[in-house]
Amino acid sequence: MDSIKQFIKEKHIMSKLAFCVIFILIYVFLLSFKNVPYIEFMVTEEERVLKEDSKLKINYNVDEDIQHITATYKETILNQEGIVLDKVEVVGDYDKTTLGEYPVKLRAEHDGFVYEEDVIIWVRDLMRPVIALEGERFMKLTAGEAYVEPGFSATDNHDGDVTDQVVVHGTVRANGRTYLKYEVTDSNGNTRVVKRRIDVEIPEGQKVIYLTFDDGPSEYTGALLDVLDAYDAKATFFITNGDEAYHDMIGEAYKKGHTIGVHSFSHDVSEVYSSTKAFYDDLQWIQNLAVIQTGVVPNIVRFPYGTGNTISEQYEKGIMSDLTSTIHMHNYTYCDWNVNSDDCGEAQTEAEVISNVINGIQALDAEEAPIVLLHDVNKHTVDAVDDIIEWGQANGYLFLPLVEDSPLVQQEVKN
């Protein structure tokens, strides 16, 4: 009996020992399985270190070594999730002065456990070129004064001198504010853009004539631009959809320094003035055309037949009151005229247009700036422009384009 009891007792002890051994083995197994760390990359703006598809993207030719790489435990049965390991070793060679991809290992070690991950160090040029503008960044010119580019230079950390690759966008306008944009992209796709602001101001006492042309472009617009160029005169074009064959004249006029305003896409008053919505739908269409041709959203509109028209009453009573009170919500101002050439009315010859314009200007008060209504869809109008400009320049006038802060004429609303 005693031997049986002794046997049972020894069995019990051995069972306990076996259970402890098994528990320890399971514990070690789970510990080794659950406590393996994984690599987590900390990003710094200075080094631009990012993890993407097992690649470390680091900047070309910077002095510092890779920093701020940490390893963090995965979820563990010992509640060690999130414990950060201080040391992560980069195993392998890479050259930060040479662009390319370098296969290396990241190794983290803690409490005898080691984790390694294969990664690629991708040495990239992440720095944008530098553009240095010579002269003033904010310049002021007097109307009629020619703009002379002060100069610029551009350098890149990888490509060296890239001045000859700088593209200057924009044309200095004859009136108002212009931003010239200087842009350069290096061989690795990094782009830098800087701007120079030029304000062209009209001296106090300087007389100005604002020639405005409605309803184009047309077959005569190109010839008109040549005439304006010959006298270094600038104008404003209130465009329509016009003749699609001459849409490129819109962009050409803008490049030459003229202002592009909008008039109407269809110029069909029965549609345009049928409702406020119809007007703004039409405005959006003509704005889109202007942007396609110039890259710039226009901000001056001339209502078909002017603000003071009464023809609109046939289609929607009170529409001009509605439009003049809401147009600013669409980022527009509006402009009419105070000199009418009548070139789409009774003035059907070159001489009549010239006479109407000169007489109209002379009839204004001295403080009024002439804003002249013309149409570049008429040959006799374009033929008259030479003499109008010659008369104006001989009498001390500059010919400038309208801008938003010009002395815009706005007629009395009658509908």
pLDDT tens digits for range 253-271: 999 999 999 999 999 999 9
pLDDT of 31 > 60? The answer is no
User: Which pTM does this prediction carry?
Assistant: 0.76
For 358, residues 6+ apart whose C-beta sits below 8 A from its C-beta are 388, 391
Question: Measuring CA to CA, which residue among 241, 216, 239 is closest to residue 301?
Answer: 239
**pLDDT at res. 48:** 37
pLDDT of 105 > 80? The answer is yes
Average pLDDT over residues 215-239: 97
**pLDDT at res. 41:** 45
Is the CATH code 3.40.50.970 the one for domain 130-201? no
According to DSSP, residue 123 is labeled: E
Question: Measuring CA to CA, which residue among 265, 218, 217 is closest to residue 237?
Answer: 217
Q: What's the CATH architecture for 207-399?
A: Alpha-Beta Barrel (3.20)
150-190 residue pLDDT tens: 999 999 999 999 999 999 999 899 999 999 999 999 999 99
- Residue 6 binned pLDDT confidence (cut-offs 50, 70, 90): low
Domains 35-124 and 130-201 share a fold: yes
Domain boundaries, the chain: 35-124, 130-201, 207-399
Question: Measuring CA to CA, which residue among 298, 191, 208 is closest to residue 253?
Answer: 298
**pLDDT at res. 415:** 96
pLDDT of 125 > 60? The answer is yes
In DSSP terms, 120 is beta-bridged to 55, 103
- Which class would CATH give 35-124? mainly beta
